[in-house]
Chains A and B, each alone.
Chain A
Amino acid sequence: MISVNVTKELSSAEGVLQAFFELEIESGEFLTLFGPSGAGKTTLMRLIAGLETPRSGTIMVDGEIWFDSDKKINLTPQKRSIGFVFQDYALFPTMSVRQNLLFAAQTQEERLYVETLLEMTELQSLSHRLPATLSGGQKQRVALARALVRRPKVLLLDEPLSALDPLMRQKLQDEIALFHQKLGITILLVSHDIAETIKLSHRLAAVEAGRIVRVCPPMEFFARHKLSGKLQLVGEVLKVEFEMPVAIVTLLVGSSVVQAVITQEEGKNLRIGEHALIAVKAYNPIVLPLTR
C-alpha cells in the first residue's frame, strides 16, 4: 500500500502552480495517472521516486516512511524500492543490453534473475548489442527489464510507450500486463492514451492542474453515460465528413480504421484528433474467430 499526501510547486507555462496530491494505491494494483500535459503526472511519479522533493507532506510505502517533511525524513532514490522507466528509456549507451541489466544487479541472486528477465522479454538474442543498435520497442523492453532487476515494490512507468508505433505499442502493453500478472508488482503508469489506460489499469487517477480530481475504474471515467448491453470502442477521430443528411466519422481504434454513420449533430460535436467513444448495440453481433 502506497499512500501519498504531498504538496509541491509546479512551474508550468501559466506560471507557478501549487500542486497537492493525495493518493492511495493498493499493493499489486495497476493505476494510471491520466490527464493533460503539465498537470503534474510526471512530477507525482518523480516525487514518489525521490527524484524531486515535495514541499511538505508524507510518502509511505508498506508502512515504511519514504518522505516526511515533519520528521525530516527523505530517502534518496537509491534507498527507495522502485523501478523507473523513463520516456527516453535512459539506457546506458556504452553498455550492452545484458550489461545494462547487470549494472542494476547487486546480489548473485539478482544476477541470475537478469537471465530470467532477458528470457521473459525475448532479449536473449540481442543481449550483446549496444542500445544505439536497437529499435524503439527493443529499447523499451530493455528499460523495462532493467527496472525490474532489483525486484522493486513499485514500478513507475512514465509514458513508456508514447514514442512507439501502434503495433509495437500493443505488443508492449501485453507484455506489461503479463509482467504485472506474473510478478504481482504495484505499477503506476503515466499515459495519454485512452485505450492503453482502459486495457492495462485497474483504476485511473485523473490529474488536472496539480490535483487528483477523480479516482475510479477507467471505463467509468471514459464512458460518461451508463451503457449496458452495448459494445464500446474508444478511438481517435481521424475524419468527419458531412453528407446530407448524415455524417460519416472515421476513427482509429487500436490499429484499425473504423467508419460509422452518425447524425450531423453528433458529427459537429467531434473534433479531429480527439478521442471518442462509439457504442453500438451488441445484441446478436457476428463474432468470428480469426485464423491463427
Chain B
Amino acid sequence: MEAEFLETMVLTFKLAAVTTVVLLVISIPLAAFLAFSNMRFKSIIETIVSMPLVLPPSVLGFYLLLAFSPSSAIGSFLTEHGIRLAFSFEGLVIGSVLFSLPFMVHPIQSALSQMPPSLFEAAYTLGKSKMETMIRVILPAIRHGVISGIVLAFAHTVGEFGVILMIGGNIPGETRVASIAIYDEVESLNYTMAHQYALTLFVITFSILLLVYTLNKKSLEGLK
C-alpha cells in the first residue's frame, strides 16, 4: 500500500515538473509573440491559448483521445513510428501542457507587455541583439511573472483531473496520478487512503505556493 502511494505521488510531481519545464520553454517565445506582435491572426492564437480556461477538461481530453487513437491520422502516424500516446505518460504530458498553457503564458505575457519599449531600444542602441536583450535584460526584469507562471502551471497540473482521466485512465506507475487515485479510493469507499492522498496534496501545494510567494515578495522589494 505504502509503495503504491509513493509511486503515485512521485508520478504526480514528475508529471507536473515535466509539464512545467516543457511549458516554460514554449511559453516565453509564445508570450513574447502575443505581447509584441501586431499580426492579423494574433487574436486567433490568443483565443486558442486561453481556451483551456473555459473549456471543460473532458472536451479537450475527448479530442486528444480521438487524435491519439490508432484509427486517426495522427494516431496511425505515431503508431507507425512506435509512439503510443493514449494511456501513456507522454500522452499525459501533452494533455497537461495544452491544458495548463494559459496559466504559464498569461503571467509572462502581462509582465512582458508592461516592459517599456525604451528598455529594449536602449539595449539595441548599446549594440545588443534581440536575443541577448531578452535573456540579459528582459527575462530578469520579468522574473516575478515567470515565477508566477511556473507556480500556477505546476499547481494546476498537480490538480488536473478531467483531461488525465480521459486520455490516461488509471494505470498504476504510468498514468495514475494523485487526483485520479483520490477519485478511485473514494469509489471503493477507502476513505483512509483518499485522505492520505488529499491531505498530502493539500500540504505540499500549500507549502510550494507559500514558499514561492514569500521569496517573490522579497525579491520584488529588493527592486523598489
- A residues with CB within 8 A of B: 49, 51, 76-78, 80, 82-84, 86-88, 90-95, 103-104, 106, 130, 132-133, 146-147, 149-150
Contact = CB atoms under 8 A, between A and B. Distances in A.
B124 A150 contact: no
B125 A130 contact: no
Contacts of B116: 88, 90
A149 B222 CA distance: 27
Contact of A103 (B124, B126, B129, B223): B126
A92 B123 CA distance: 9
Nearest to A131: B223
20 contacts: A51-B124, A77-B125, A78-B125, A84-B122, A84-B125, A86-B118, A87-B118, A92-B137, A93-B141, A94-B137, A94-B223, A95-B137, A95-B140, A103-B126, A103-B128, A103-B136, A103-B137, A104-B127, A132-B224, A150-B127
Contact of A77 (B121, B137, B224): B121
Given A94-B223, A104-B126, A86 B121 contact: yes
Contacts of A92: 119, 122-123, 137, 141
Nearest to B143: A94
Contacts, number: 66
Interface residues of B, number: 20
Contacts of B224: 132-133
A88 B223 CA distance: 17
Contact of A84 (B119, B121, B223): B121
Nearest to A88: B118
Interface string B132-167: 000011001101000000000000000000000000
Nearest to A77: B124
Nearest to B223: A132
Given A92-B137, A93-B223, A130-B223, A78 B129 contact: yes
Contacts of B125: 49, 51, 77-78, 80, 82-84, 147
Looking at chain A's contact residues, the main secondary structure is loop
A49 B122 CA distance: 11
A94 B121 contact: no
A154 B224 CA distance: 33
Given A130-B223, A132-B223, A150-B127, A94 B141 contact: yes
A90 B126 contact: no
Contacts of B128: 78, 103
Given A78-B129, A104-B127, A106-B127, A90 B121 contact: yes
A150 B128 CA distance: 12
Taking each of A76, A78, A93, A106, which has the highest tally of chain B beta carbons within 10 Å of its own beta carbon? A78
Interface string B70-110: 00000000000000000000000000000000000000000
A80 B127 CA distance: 8
Nearest to B119: A90
A91 B137 CA distance: 10
Taking each of B116, B118, B122, B141, which has the highest tally of chain A beta carbons within 10 Å of its own beta carbon? B122
A114 B121 CA distance: 21
Contacts of A147: 125-126
Lowest 5 CB-CB distances: which A-B pairs, in order?
A90-B122, A90-B118, A94-B140, A104-B126, A84-B125
Contact of A78 (B127, B140, B222): B127
A87 B118 CA distance: 9
Contacts of A82: 125
Contacts of A95: 137, 140
Contacts of B137: 92, 94-95, 103
Given A94-B141, A132-B224, A76 B118 contact: no
Interface string B168-211: 00000000000000000000000000000000000000000000
B50 to A, nearest CB: 29
A144 B137 CA distance: 18
A86 to B, nearest CB: 4
A50 to B, nearest CB: 8
Contacts of B143: 94
Contacts of B140: 94-95
A93 B220 CA distance: 11
A117 B160 CA distance: 55
Nearest to B124: A77
Contacts of B119: 90, 92
Contacts of B122: 84, 86, 90-92, 146
A76 B140 CA distance: 25
B121 A51 contact: yes
Nearest to B115: A93
A93 B115 CA distance: 11
